[in-house]
Structures are given as structure tokens and as C-alpha cells.
Amino acid sequence: MIEDDFYATLKLKTGEELFARVAASEEDDRTMLIVSNPIIVDEIRTKNGVAGYKVEPWLKTTTEDMFIINLEDILTLSESSDIEMIMMYQDYVRSSDKTTRNESKINRRMGRIGNVNDVKEILEKIFKSSN
């Protein structure tokens, strides 16, 4: 059974702090959290104080946007009603959706397309001619 989703800050036992849209799910006497588009937020500080925030995906080497975290791996969880934080999160999710959909394929107009062997031969010729 999946409960209604909500925005939350999660502190994992590993020390990581995430912000995400979260839904709880009960399966086989275990509570799991379904975490959607988890982000890490860092403050950017200047000499005058906080200048802004840097938003990054929690996992940078995947294109997945939903993860399941066992409740036992969470140190604490706090439901968020902070409008500024929710807006920042929603902007990030919208912008990351656009960049993945609008990725362009490599073509000849972008520059030279070659393979390693061709480039190796060219570089060897340049090296030999410079000696």
C-alpha cells in the first residue's frame, strides 16, 4: 500500500542529506520510501554570507528518477512545507526533464567525427613531421 506523496528532507545513515518527493510503501512488514528525483542542496557562501544554493542530483551516474530506500537506512525524515525549497526542487526537476528530452545526437556539423585509430594515425603523422 502506497501512502500519499509529500516533500521531505531525508538524512541517511551515511550522512547524506536529500530533498525529494517521497511516498511510503508497506511491503512484507517493511516500510520502504519511494523517493522521486532526490537532490542534494549546497549553500554557496561568499564573504558577505549566503549567496545562493547549488542543486545537484543525488546520484550523478544514472538517468533513473525514482529510488527505493529502506526506512532502516534513514536517520531522520522531515516533511517540508518550505515553499522556496519546493519551488527550487520543482524548477530543477523541470529543467532536468528538458535537458534529457532535448539531447542532440552527434553529427558532422558539430565537428569532426572519427575513431581512435584514425586520430592516432593523424597524431603520429604530425609528430613525425615535427621532428
Q: State residue 96's pLDDT score.
A: 82
**Mean pLDDT (the chain, rounded):** 84
| Per-residue pLDDT, 125 | 83
With a cut of 70, which residues of the chain have pLDDT below it?
A: 1-3, 98-115
pLDDT of residue 117: 76
pLDDT of residue 80: 94
| Set of cell numbers at residue 96 | 532536468
pTM of the predicted protein model: 0.68
- Quick one: pLDDT at residue 45? 84
Structure confidence at residue 44 (pLDDT): 85
The pLDDT assigned to 43 comes to 83
Domains of the chain: 6-101 (2.30.30.100)
SS (H, E, C) the chain: CECCCEEEEEEECCCCEEEEEEEEEEECCEEEEEEEEEEEEEEEEECCEEEEEEEEECCCCCCCCEEEEEHHHEEEEEECCCHHHHHHHHHHHHHHHHHHHCCCCCCHHHCCCCCHHHHHHHHHHHHHHHC
